[in-house]
Amino acid sequence: MDKATLKVANAIVRIVGVFETCGSLSAVTSKFEQAQYLRENIQVPKTLDYFKNYWYPEFRDLYFIRKEKSSATILSKGYDRKLEMVLRTDQKTDVRTLISISVDRAEVFLFEHNLHFFSIDLSIESNELAGFSDLTFASRNFHTKVLDVSGECDWVNWIEKEVLCSISISGDGSTKGPKVDDYSGSKFKVFSIIDLAESVAPEVRAELLYDLGCGAQIGSAGGDKLFSPSQQYFEELMQNKISVFNNYDILPLFDSFTVLGHSLLDSDKKSAKTMTWSQSYFRVFLHNLFIKFNLFRYNSEMINDSVKVRDTFESFLNTYNISHISYNFLPNLIYQKHRLSLDIDGELHKFQDRINRISQSISEQRQNRANLLIGFIGFVTSLSSISPALDILKTVQKYLGWGSVLFYSLVVIVLICIAVPVLMYLFPYKAKRYKKMFRSKYE
């Protein structure tokens, strides 16, 4: 069997990325609405009733009914853009291999904490599995070259301009980029549902899952190519595979979520079967990414203001870190397996240990500063009167022969010089933040 030429009946290929904004959520929403994005607003009673009986309230309110302040604001925009992507370039001849793709639709998911997500639906004219493999391989990389009527640019820059209303998500290496560039990496996440025209044997399906999920050339798994996986590595990745029904398997990995099977989707994109994957299960996938990227963000911000980040993070976990999301078993299984592939719980545990250590250190420092302050207050209150101090100052002024304005101005300056380091010691985190603001202003 030539795996590369297997026919694909239907597919959902979607890349997902993260971006940050500042300012109010309403301002960001307005910016996308001005760019012809339409807000999702589900008001059909039958649909609302379905969501009520399918999802736990916490998850349902976040991504479907959206009653709470913490809920995602979801907007979408249809596209009909044709692009060419550079799949590879021959190093000897400099000849490029191009693939033609279509950008069909974009969605943005906006959250109150200013860390947001976008997704882009892509398609190709080819109905061979190798074509979809090329599509996911090329479209996941930030710096894949794309060509359209306006010229050539990096894929990430095309997305910034055409999809994200000129919001930057990457730096060019020579200048300081946006904060999100520090932890977003250089690859988009890939969500793909590949519906083959005919069924294949389970062992073949597992090998194809590896190839598609890892961005490997079709035929790598189960072959003897240079980059074919070892049996040990292959089996390790397959531990996260979800196999519930005979007609498909799911492989959640760190950078991808791949479903491969037969009779998964309908040609009608709004059918219940297709919407289950493109909307319901996709938002399960998205929620785990939301948790993971926020962990990246809080880890990177911890060094700047650990007290503030600790309090904000605890509030974030109380709102978004949900243990179960559905009354049905399969969404919960997908949710837990994908969390496992992202190592969310392991990172949460380490991050909370870090917070506990910081909290303990802060508590000890506060106690030491409190003791110092109590000693200082005791010293001040032990003075029977301030008048002897004033008499001493007057004697010194008379001895020096200085005028009152000059002498007492100097006294005030000396007191300020003493007070500033004392306040910096008593409030080190505030002092650190103000010093950073001062440096950034004058650099």
Side chain identity at residue 139, one-letter code: S
Compute the distance between CA of residue 285 and CA of residue 278 in angstroms, rounded to an integer. 11
pTM score, whole prediction? 0.81
Say if residues 153 and 145 touch (Cβ distance below 8 Å). Answer: yes
Tokens representing residue 246 in the block: 């005979």
Compute the distance between CA of residue 391 and CA of residue 404 in angstroms, rounded to an integer. 14
Would strands 256-262 and 189-196 be described as parallel, antiparallel, or unpaired? parallel
Say if residues 112 and 22 touch (Cβ distance below 8 Å). Answer: no
E strands along 68-144, which residues?
73-89, 96-110, 115-123
- Is a pLDDT exceeding 90 seen at residue 171? no
Q: What's the pLDDT band for 386 if we cut at 50, 70, 90?
A: low
Compute the distance between CA of residue 53 and CA of residue 328 in angstroms, rounded to an integer. 9
- Is a pLDDT exceeding 70 seen at residue 385? no
- Is a pLDDT exceeding 80 seen at residue 382? no
Compute the distance between CA of residue 157 and CA of residue 152 in angstroms, rounded to an integer. 10
Compute the distance between CA of residue 397 and CA of residue 206 in angstroms, rounded to an integer. 90
Half-sphere exposure (CA, 13 Å, Cβ side) for 185? Answer: 12
Tokens representing residue 385 in the block: 């009167």
Say if residues 84 and 98 touch (Cβ distance below 8 Å). Answer: yes
Query: Measured in Å, how far apart are the chain's first and last C-alpha atoms?
Result: 62
CA 301 to chain centroid, in Å, comes to: 14
Q: Mind listing the pLDDT tens digit for each residue in 307-324?
A: 777 778 888 888 999 999
Closest residue by Cα to residue 110 from 14, 20, 218: 20
- Higher-pLDDT residue of 1, 11: 11
Q: Mind listing the pLDDT tens digit for each residue in 88-101?
A: 988 888 899 999 99
- Higher-pLDDT residue of 173, 237: 237
Q: What's the pLDDT band for 430 if we cut at 50, 70, 90?
A: low
Locate tokens 């009909």: which residue?
80
- pLDDT the model gives residue 189: 97
- Region 280-301: mean pLDDT is 92
- Is a pLDDT exceeding 80 seen at residue 150? yes
Share of the chain above pLDDT 90, in %: 55
The H or E element containing residue 320 is helix 306-320
Say if residues 337 and 344 touch (Cβ distance below 8 Å). Answer: no
Say what angle helices 404-426 and 428-442 make with each other, to 10 degrees.
Answer: 110
Tokens representing residue 243 in the block: 């196999």
Q: Mind listing the pLDDT tens digit for each residue in 419-428?
A: 777 777 666 6
Taking the CA atoms of residue 77, residue 178, residue 153 and residue 129 in that order, the dihedral angle to the nearest 10 degrees is -60
User: For residue 167, what is the DSSP state?
Assistant: -
Tokens representing residue 109 in the block: 């998911």
Strand-pairing partners, residue 10, are: 195
- Region 32-57: mean pLDDT is 88
Pure H helices in 8-56 = 25-34, 45-54
Compute the distance between CA of residue 401 and CA of residue 404 in angstroms, rounded to an integer. 9
- Region 11-33: mean pLDDT is 94
- pLDDT the model gives residue 163: 96
- pLDDT the model gives residue 437: 64
Tokens representing residue 388 in the block: 């002897």
Radius of gyration of the chain (CA): 29
Average pLDDT taken over every residue of the chain = 86
Locate tokens 């249809």: which residue?
78
Compute the distance between CA of residue 32 and CA of residue 176 in angstroms, rounded to an integer. 25
- pLDDT the model gives residue 67: 72
Half-sphere exposure (CA, 13 Å, Cβ side) for 130? Answer: 10
Q: What's the pLDDT band for 23 if we cut at 50, 70, 90?
A: confident
Q: What's the pLDDT band for 251 if we cut at 50, 70, 90?
A: very high
Q: Is the sign of the CA dihedral 413, 418, 420, 423 positive or negative?
A: negative
CA distance readout (Å), 417 to 407, 413, 422, 428: 16, 6, 9, 17
DSSP string for 264-311: ---SSTTSHHHHIIIIIIHHHHHHHHHHHHHHHHHHHHTTT-HHHHHH
Tokens representing residue 324 in the block: 């179960």
- Region 371-376: mean pLDDT is 62
- pLDDT the model gives residue 289: 96
Tokens representing residue 178 in the block: 């946006």
Tokens representing residue 175 in the block: 């200048």
- Is a pLDDT exceeding 90 seen at residue 411? no
